[in-house]
């Protein structure tokens, strides 16, 4: 008889569907662990909730997410609602004794993130954030390469994250341009590169950020123009101990669709990666004759675990949604008491701390050193 | 109450798992159509059958695939066993009134393929082959571009399919080097490019092939060497009416992991594609000033249907397994009476016809014209 | 006192200018060898001849190339006229005791090429052909890599040469579409890949070619359309001993500007190269763990001789014209009695032999085995 | 009778040879303008001076550069010596009534650069700096594209310049690690991206820089280790009016050979370029249906002036040295009274001003606003 784990899902948008797919595929892909039982789905609109429950094969639907939190058959809760709700829902779920899988960014304000982290610690439950890019088998490979000394001691890092969904200056003003939504690209994007940095190298110890607005205003539905309050672009200098770095994020970068570009330089080589070609990594090793040195392009293959759980042949390619399946599996492993590859709320809080320090450095126009009390 | 369709799966290897994942995800991804009910799984070893049934969430397991064929709750059968079994299983399933989703290549010999096609026609059931590469949204886009005249009239085509799983001359002799397994790269690989050609342009009307063996013999388990009987490389000149073409396939091509490279030249532009970067296509349009012409790299996006069913944002990337989900959905649409994008047994037989003509042209060292009686 | 060598140049078009630049730069680039003294320039139009002589710094200009041949101060003659004149001029120059640097292809007909080769042998002078692509330091590197066993024993080769100067079906009919100009892409393009094959691997021993016409006719100046007599596309299967190969050439390939793409597969790796990125080569070595294998991109650097004579820093890039400077230097070395890297008339004749065998195989629709009496 | 211009060359290293080649090829490549007459060459070692004069075809050689400055037949002087000598030589040459072509960076200190600029203004002669990368026909094309509004209003720029000649931590300490040589990557590299920025967009108005040392010390010849005094890495945030930007330079970036990577984002598109592939540029235009948008790779062609002066066919590729030929031609045009595409001493001083402001911002750990009195 198979072991099961009861799943609740709050939110059925982009990430909600992505979680649903991950819960569905984790067991057939990995073969091991409990079978997720799709117990309860919450979505503000009850008709939509019912429709999605039918599509995703959830047993029950509700318009009130608290129904789900109080359902004793739900053991783990996926939170995929807008950021403003994360704290309330995550804290409630943890207090109700559920494990939590919450989408990023953690919360809108730092104090909310702190509250979430405290609730997680107090609960003794597993609480993780949806930083799926660290789950790419090739990102794991990059970590292994660095750890094995393949490029020597890292001394410089550059990270870029760019998309173009805010690139059109004539696209209508919406909530992402309101100050209430956060800083802009800094919290919308920067958290992803920070999750990669943390996983591969470490958390920044000092930051200097500059945010900018490509467009001062945007058109509104009534034909006027409204002043943009958030920054679609942020450029950051940082240090991770003695490692220097540059982080550039831009959500109005025409032509970039899902670029998360890493350049990691070490004393004996370098590694280059771009999420837009997520099945490739490049490594340069400063060994052998100069005539034979050059970047090597490594294509994702079964040797890069757990690619093999999806496809037993190299070069066929994983997709974005597969990363979420891996994340789900790592969550299940963590719940089972293993050491999963996850960004838990404690780690997530440090990412938030960095983002807020960046924003502060922008205001102060100077470096901000980041103290990390818990670490 | 959701409509369901009962699924049987024969074989649980690479493609068996891939079918299982597709049956699981088709409904949550697409939202429409019946929910696949995973009824019965067959795998020669009963212990393995039971394990896989548990992993993939099938209700029942058997070591005898005929149990599955006779199960009245099974409405559609996935056949993912070695090629030698395709004909027997597909014919039996069709005769039992099941729809059939059979992996490629269709069968080992042409007469078997003919028998399968006849059985499909007689049954009135849907019978399709697993030519998943045609399901890539960007391959659809290529088809749309050609159909819309974006590159004018096509006049020349080159296709390559290369992998390196047979590239090591010291890898031990196994069944793929035995004549009983078929011609070699010609039937192992060529069928995929032919499925793409058929979908995008048409079936070859005339072929000239040359097969070659990179290694005359390979080591055996007992330390001797055994003569290789199949051709790991095949190079083919062909015509599709007045369009000239070159097809190159090589399963001992060191460095190539999943290359299926298309170059399509027309009177007003060209299109280039490589499955190893399955989320990109390149198009050259001979319009505008010379200084501004160049290949444009288009990244898979929601505008390329049905990418949007997986991810609502561009540039995040589909994976190989997603193609199988699309194929499953197209099968379900076809079963529902819609015009799905599938390679049915009648089309599949034409692909087989081409492969066998190629082998004949190699033996005859001359062009072979292909008559297609049914078309 | 510097040693000099007297240079005559016939023709001042694309290649004429390229030769002039090479004669001018060879000494300052390489530092060694005699200084070319630009003695005499011939160009059918005397005014143009005078203008070019002034631009290129030639001492004298003439409209009659025979003046140049009989000028005792001319020691080596560059022949860069249309192909139809090559034989007459080269033979005359050789008979007059001059060294000859003749542009490719060697001649329009095979018997003319034979006559040139005989004249060269009889003269005892150096006579070479302008196959400049073999001079790329990275092509040398490819040769060194193959020779050193870096990819094991070569077993399969693919070569493509594509440009788009004939791609526009509405471009006016001109002499390249007339039968008198030759076969078409076969002699226009195929000779370049053949020069690379010969240098890196060997001459084909057996060929099967198929030529095709993307456009049956083209517009003429008087508004009518004229039937195209040459083949803009040719596709060839070939063998070099036990090595199988595919050669594809297309001068109406929209989007391709200077593509000469090589794929060389061996028992232990492969090499990939494209002239459009002439400062890069890719090599795959099947060594080490599978997780760390992948194509390595090597960028042209001083370690790749004689790149260092042009630029002492890596990655700055050579250009097409630099290849001609290297060719000129290799010619001078050969004249000085050293073993230069050149395609002499004897080698060039073998390239011609291959091209004519290809055309014959097209007509005969069967394989043609190539006997090479002189080798 | 051809017009000539007398040339003097000081220094015969990397750039000295590059100038010599440019002086030799400018006339045959461009066909127009005066013929450079190679009059006088200076090199500290008289034997080397004589050897180089012979190789480069200069009429006279000297070990004393002042001989050359006082030679009335010299009309223009190439200065390619170490940076420390630029000011003295340039000022002397200008005072002697010569035009000056001086390699970058302008001078070691800002006051020296000011002195050079003043001397140039006073002399009325042409004085330019060797910022050759702006001469790439594709960089001109980028400028034309921006000017024509092809990407709308520019709002964000990123520039990287990376090489790896200082990447080996065990390479012996030499003068580039001494404080007397300057700041490090900031003046060694940053000036090139600044010359591109100035040409394409404008001079920075505000900067914030952070310099770092990948290696605190390096081995010396006597087996000890010596503290590194310069910064091999610099990361800079900047503004050009309302345009935000990031500049990253690293001369210890393993794997990078000649990378100068530009990313220019505008309100209607973006442009991407990398000097390592100097014959390609990429442009994204946000027009047409989303399904058809993507970066277009444009390959250098005759339509991109003055590529056509080198090669009349597209895609054959210019090299680094060709850029210097174009620069030489632009210098000659400027001397002839035309408006050449050059970085004169006045513009060069602004580049120096920016570099020194960057260094100051590093020391002050804050933004530095750049006042440009002369502009």
The rounded distance, in Å, linking the Cα atoms of C257 and D304 is: 14
Give the best residue of A279, A306, A307 to mutate against chain B (max B CB count within 10 A): A279
Residue A373: the pLDDT is 84
The answer to whether B290 faces chain D, any CB pair under 8 Å, is: yes
Give which of A266, D237, C185 is closest to C176, Cα–Cα. C185
What percent of chain D is modeled with pLDDT above 70? 99
Which candidate from C141, C290, C298 shows the least CB-CB separation from A303? C290
Q: How far apart are the first and last CA of chain D?
A: 42
Name the pLDDT band for B152 (thresholds 50, 70, 90): very high
Residues shown for chain B: 375
CB contact under 8 A, B294 and C233: no
Give the best residue of A239, A265, A291, A369 to mutate against chain D (max D CB count within 10 A): A265
- The model's pLDDT over C92-146, given as tens digits with 9 standing for 90+, comes to 999 999 999 999 999 989 999 999 999 999 999 999 999 999 999 999 999 999 9
Give the chain D residue whose CA is nearest to the CA of B140. Answer: D291
The rounded distance, in Å, linking the Cα atoms of D349 and D374 is: 10
Mean pLDDT of C34-49: 97
Residue A375: the pLDDT is 57
* Residue range(s) occupied by CATH 3.30.360.10 in chain C: 136-318+344-368
Residue C375 confidence (pLDDT) above 60: no
- Quick one: CA dihedral B141, B142, B147, B152, positive or negative? positive
Mean pLDDT of C327-353: 98
Residue D220: the pLDDT is 96
Contact A210, A111 (CB under 8 A): no
Return the bridge partners of B214, or none: none
- D120 Cα to chain C: minimum distance (Å): 30
Contact B162, B224 (CB under 8 A): no
Name the pLDDT band for C374 (thresholds 50, 70, 90): low
Taking CA atoms, A145 is separated from A270, C294, D119, in Å, by 10, 15, 55
Residue D108 confidence (pLDDT) above 90: no
CB contact under 8 A, C2 and D310: no
Residue B375: the pLDDT is 57
Q: Say what the alpha-carbon torsion angle C309, C149, A285, D230 is, to the nearest 10 degrees.
A: -20
Which of left, alpha, beta for B256 (phi over 0: left; psi -120 to 50: alpha)?
A: beta
* Residue range(s) occupied by CATH 3.30.360.10 in chain D: 134-316+343-368
Q: Which chains touch A (3 or more CB pairs under 8 A)?
A: B, C, D
Give the chain D residue whose CA is nearest to the CA of A206. Answer: D210
Give which of A104, A126, A128, A304 is closest to A193, Cα–Cα. A104
Contact D189, D251 (CB under 8 A): yes
Give which of A52, A57, A62, A60 is closest to A15, Cα–Cα. A52
The rounded distance, in Å, linking the Cα atoms of D327 and D334 is: 10
The answer to whether A210 faces chain D, any CB pair under 8 Å, is: yes
Which candidate from A245, A253, A293 shows the least CB-CB separation from D270? A253
Which candidate from C246, C253, C284 shows the least CB-CB separation from B248? C246
- The model's pLDDT over B188-217, given as tens digits with 9 standing for 90+, comes to 999 999 999 999 999 999 999 999 999 999
| Helix axes A86-95 and A110-123, enclosed angle (nearest 10) | 10
- C72 Cα to chain B: minimum distance (Å): 46
Instruction: Look up the CATH superfamily of B4-129.
Output: NAD(P)-binding Rossmann-like Domain (3.40.50.720)
Question: What are the DSSP E strand ranges found in D33-91?
Answer: 35-42, 60-62, 76-79
Residue B101 confidence (pLDDT) above 90: yes
Q: What is the largest CA-CA distance in chain A?
A: 67
Residue C314: the pLDDT is 97
Residue D345 confidence (pLDDT) above 70: yes
The answer to whether A24 faces chain B, any CB pair under 8 Å, is: yes
The rounded distance, in Å, linking the Cα atoms of A269 and B267 is: 46
Taking residue B362's Cβ as centre, other Cβ atoms within 10 Å add up to 22
The answer to whether C364 faces chain B, any CB pair under 8 Å, is: no
CB contact under 8 A, B296 and D291: no
- Average confidence score pLDDT of chain B: 97
The answer to whether B321 faces chain D, any CB pair under 8 Å, is: no
Tokens 């150096």 locate to: C126
* Residue range(s) occupied by CATH 3.40.50.720 in chain B: 4-129
Query: Which residues of D, range 53-92, sit inside 8 Å of B by Cβ?
Result: none
The rounded distance, in Å, linking the Cα atoms of D52 and A277 is: 49
CB contact under 8 A, C256 and D315: yes
Query: Which residues of D, range 123-142, sit inside 8 Å of A by Cβ?
Result: none
Taking CA atoms, C261 is separated from A14, A371, C2, in Å, by 42, 55, 41
Contact C167, C254 (CB under 8 A): yes
The answer to whether A254 faces chain D, any CB pair under 8 Å, is: yes
Residue D59 confidence (pLDDT) above 90: yes
- C229 Cα to chain D: minimum distance (Å): 24
Which CATH fold topology does C136-318+344-368 show? Dihydrodipicolinate Reductase; domain 2 (3.30.360)
**Is the backbone peptide bond immediately before C246 cis, with ω within 30 degrees of 0?**
no
Residues of D in contact with A215 (CB under 8 A): 155, 267
Residue B108 confidence (pLDDT) above 90: no
Give the chain B residue whose CA is nearest to the CA of D289. Answer: B303
Residues shown for chain C: 375
CB contact under 8 A, B272 and C254: no
Give which of C166, C304, C324 is closest to C232, Cα–Cα. C166
The rounded distance, in Å, linking the Cα atoms of A359 and A207 is: 9
Mean pLDDT of D231-243: 98
**Structure tokens, C329:** 């230097």
Residues of B in contact with A253 (CB under 8 A): none
Instruction: Look up the CATH superfamily of A134-316+344-368.
Output: Dihydrodipicolinate Reductase; domain 2 (3.30.360.10)
The answer to whether A190 faces chain D, any CB pair under 8 Å, is: no
Give the chain B residue whose CA is nearest to the CA of C238. Answer: B210
The rounded distance, in Å, linking the Cα atoms of B306 and B313 is: 12
What dotted CATH number matches D134-316+343-368?
3.30.360.10
The answer to whether A259 faces chain B, any CB pair under 8 Å, is: yes
- Quick one: CA dihedral D190, D196, D197, D198, positive or negative? positive
CB contact under 8 A, B208 and C155: no
**Is the backbone peptide bond immediately before A306 cis, with ω within 30 degrees of 0?**
yes
Residues of A in contact with D244 (CB under 8 A): 210, 212, 233, 235
- The model's pLDDT over D286-317, given as tens digits with 9 standing for 90+, comes to 999 999 999 999 999 999 999 999 999 999 99
Mean pLDDT of A314-337: 98
Mean pLDDT of B310-320: 97
The rounded distance, in Å, linking the Cα atoms of D96 and D103 is: 19
- The model's pLDDT over D172-206, given as tens digits with 9 standing for 90+, comes to 999 999 998 899 999 899 999 999 999 999 999 99
- C6 Cα to chain D: minimum distance (Å): 16
Residue A1: the pLDDT is 47
Residues of D in contact with C18 (CB under 8 A): 311
Contact A166, A176 (CB under 8 A): yes
- The DSSP line for B30-55 is H--SPEEEEEEEE-SSHHHHHHHHHH
Q: Which H or E run includes B263?
A: strand B259-266
Mean pLDDT of C238-256: 98
Residues shown for chain A: 375
Give counts: helices (H), strands (E), chain C.
11, 18
Residue A108: the pLDDT is 86
CB contact under 8 A, C284 and B254: yes
Mean pLDDT of C66-85: 97
The rounded distance, in Å, linking the Cα atoms of C364 and D298 is: 41
Mean pLDDT of C336-352: 97
Residues of B in contact with A312 (CB under 8 A): 14
Mean pLDDT of B137-154: 98
Residue D113: the pLDDT is 97
- One of 3.10.20.30, 3.30.360.10, 1.20.1560.10, 3.40.190.10 is the CATH number of B134-314+344-368, namely 3.30.360.10
* Residue range(s) occupied by CATH 3.30.360.10 in chain A: 134-316+344-368
Displacement of CA D31 from its chain's centroid (Å): 25
């Amino acid at each position: 008889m198979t072991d099961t784990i009861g799943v609740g899902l709050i939110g059925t948008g982009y990430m909600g569907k992505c979680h649903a797919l991950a819960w569905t595929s984790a067991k057939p892909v990995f073969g091991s662990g409990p079978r997720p039982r799709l117990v309860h789905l919450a979505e503000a609109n009850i008709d939509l909730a019912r429709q999605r429950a039918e599509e995703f094969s959830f047993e029950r639907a509700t318009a009130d997410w608290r129904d789900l939190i109080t359902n004793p058959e739900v053991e783990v809760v996926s939170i995929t609602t807008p950021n403003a709700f994360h704290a309330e829902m995550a804290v409630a779920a943890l207090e109700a004794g559920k494990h939590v899988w919450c989408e990023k960014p953690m919360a809108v304000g730092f104090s909310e993130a702190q509250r979430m982290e405290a609730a997680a610690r107090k609960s003794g439950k597993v609480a993780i954030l949806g930083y799926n890019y660290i789950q790419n088998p090739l990102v794991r490979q990059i970590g292994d390469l660095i750890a094995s000394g393949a490029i020597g001691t890292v001394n410089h890092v550059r990270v870029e994250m760019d998309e173009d969904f805010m690139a059109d200056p004539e696209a209508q003003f919406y909530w992402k341009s309101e100050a209430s939504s956060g800083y802009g690209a800094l919290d919308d994007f920067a958290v992803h590169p920070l999750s990669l940095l943390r996983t591969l190298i470490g958390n920044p110890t000092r930051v200097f950020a500059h945010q900018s607005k490509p467009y001062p205003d945007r058109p509104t539905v009534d034909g006027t123009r409204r002043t943009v309050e958030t920054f679609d672009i942020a450029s950051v200098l940082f240090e991770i101990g003695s490692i220097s770095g540059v982080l550039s994020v831009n959500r109005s970068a025409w032509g970039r669709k899902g670029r998360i570009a890493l350049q990691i330089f070490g004393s004996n080589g370098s590694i280059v990666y771009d999420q837009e070609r997520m099945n490739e990594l490049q490594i340069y090793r400063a060994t052998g004759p100069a005539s034979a040195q050059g970047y090597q392009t490594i294509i994702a293959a079964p040797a890069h675990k757990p690619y093999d759980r999806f496809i037993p042949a190299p070069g066929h390619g994983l997709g974005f949604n597969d990363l979420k399946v891996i994340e789900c599996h790592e969550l299940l492993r963590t719940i089972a008491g293993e050491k999963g590859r996850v960004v838990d709320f404690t780690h997530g809080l440090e990412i938030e701390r960095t983002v807020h320090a960046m924003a502060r450095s922008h205001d102060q126009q100077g470096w901000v050193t980041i103290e990390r009390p818990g670490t």
